[in-house]
């Protein structure tokens, strides 16, 4: 799909969240010809602070829910070239506590968007998905997730994202909708809600609070800097062939314990802040992505190393203590605190 020609109109959902807002920032910085409608329900994870510095001429925010057909239809202007669907309930721990909202937003919401894309003649639909739909790899094996790995989601979150992928595939197969699916691993970077592991570790460590490590801390995640992920999405949008799926990963597998130690070391904090706690139920052991297709076909490669990405991320949290304070105010409690209280010993 050639873009950045005369004027490109894109409909981004979930653009007030962590990855969606980074994507919008990247896109607006990259060319002057893109206009974005950002459709977001502003759930606990959506934050208008994330959009403050964006050009109001080219970024139009609409508060709305992707499960609301009329609202989606009304917001989707004529001549929209593509829908990029970031909107989701995105935290595994929350899906363990209650799956309802995950099913509504991630599954039904995706179908509403697919229907709207078809009815309004939108050229392309890009679904932002996750490696978690492929379940778990073994800790010590050398296998990787590829685009043809079997679906084997293990958490309610992963199952809802897998269902969404099936609906996207079905819309392509049955109705000929031009679709792309991207699946990536664990993103890190500025503006990530501090219930996810890395921003939680950074913000706790900055306040000399302990970092909860689930289980033995040897679970492996494949970490990618958020802007690298967003550049891959953009390339997939522009260069991907209709119906394609791309795995996006930076070949950066890390054990959780190593991630937490890197954060503590970068901040000069003691390892005694690590606190081993009861494991997450059904905790996937290892995610590892083979990004060969994205590299070969899209010409994509990550720019940040783990060291440079982590440095940028930590600096951002250091410089934006107010953002964290505001985000965490109110009734905010991590999953772990909700389940086990704050005074848990290892």
Structure tokens that stand for 122 in this block: 């939108």
Main-chain phi, psi angles of 77, to 5 degrees: -70, 165
The upper half-sphere exposure of residue 251, i.e. CA atoms within 13 Å in the direction of its Cβ, equals: 10
Our finding on whether 189 is near ligand TYD (CB under 6 A) is no
The one of ligand NAD, ligand TYD, none whose footprint includes residue 336, by CB under 5 to 8 A per kind, is ligand TYD
Of the residues 8, 13, 95, 252, which one makes contact with ligand NAD according to CB under 6 A: 13
Rounded to 5, what percent of the chain is helix, strand, coil?
45, 20, 40
Binding mask of the shown chain, residues 80 to 99, with x at each position contacting ligand NAD by CB under 6 A: ------xxxxx---------
Our finding on whether 248 is near ligand NAD (CB under 6 A) is no
Residue closer to ligand TYD, measured from CB, 172 or 221: 221
Q: Among this protein's residues, is 227 annotated catalytic?
A: no
Q: Among this protein's residues, is 132 annotated catalytic?
A: yes
Q: Among this protein's residues, is 32 annotated catalytic?
A: no
* Dist. CA 333–CA 315, nearest whole Å: 24
Q: Identify the sign of the CA torsion 219, 225, 226, 230.
A: negative
* Dist. CA 326–CA 323, nearest whole Å: 5
With contacts defined by CB under 6 A, name the span among 7-15, 88-96, 112-120, 308-316 that binds ligand TYD: 88-96
Residue 192 burial (10 A CB sphere; 0-12, 13-18, 19+): buried
List residues near ligand NAD by CB under 6 A. Answer: 13-14, 16-20, 40-43, 45-46, 65-67, 86-90, 105, 109, 128, 130, 161, 184, 186-187, 193
Q: What are the catalytic residues?
A: 131-132, 157
List residues near ligand TYD by CB under 6 A. Answer: 91-93, 186, 196-197, 200, 212-214, 219, 221, 256, 280, 336
């Amino acid at each position: 799909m050639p873009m950045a020609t005369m004027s490109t109109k894109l409909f981004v959902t979930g653009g007030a969240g962590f990855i969606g807002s980074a994507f919008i920032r990247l896109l607006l910085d990259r060319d002057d010809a893109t206009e974005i409608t950002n459709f977001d329900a502003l759930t606990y994870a959506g934050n208008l602070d994330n959009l403050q510095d964006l050009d109001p001429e080219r970024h139009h925010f609409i508060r709305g829910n992707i499960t609301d057909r009329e609202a989606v239809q009304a917001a989707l202007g004529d001549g929209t070239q593509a829908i990029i669907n970031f909107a989701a309930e995105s935290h595994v721990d929350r899906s363990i506590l209650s799956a309802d909202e995950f099913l509504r937003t991630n599954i039904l919401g995706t179908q509403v968007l697919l229907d709207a894309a078809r009815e309004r003649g939108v050229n392309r639909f890009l679904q932002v998905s996750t490696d978690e739909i492929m379940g778990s790899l073994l800790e010590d094996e050398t296998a990787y997730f590829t685009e043809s790995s079997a679906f084997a989601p293990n958490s309610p979150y992963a199952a809802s994202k897998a269902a969404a992928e099936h609906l996207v595939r079905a819309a392509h197969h049955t109705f000929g909708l031009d679709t792309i699916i991207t699946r990536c691993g664990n993103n890190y970077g500025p503006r990530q809600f501090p219930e996810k592991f890395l921003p939680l570790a950074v913000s706790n460590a900055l306040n000399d609070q302990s970092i909860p490590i689930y289980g033995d801390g040897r679970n492996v995640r494949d970490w990618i800097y958020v802007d690298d992920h967003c550049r891959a999405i953009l390339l997939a949008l522009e260069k991907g062939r209709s119906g394609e799926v791309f795995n996006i990963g930076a070949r950066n597998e890390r054990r959780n314990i190593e991630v937490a130690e890197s954060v503590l070391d970068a901040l000069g904090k003691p390892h005694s802040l690590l606190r081993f706690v009861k494991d997450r139920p059904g905790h996937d052991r290892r995610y590892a992505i083979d990004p060969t297709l994205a590299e070969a076909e899209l010409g994509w490669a990550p720019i940040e190393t783990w060291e440079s990405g982590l440095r940028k991320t930590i600096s951002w949290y250091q410089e934006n203590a107010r953002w964290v304070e505001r985000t965490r105010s109110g009734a905010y409690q991590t999953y772990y605190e909700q389940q086990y209280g704050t005074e848990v010993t290892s």
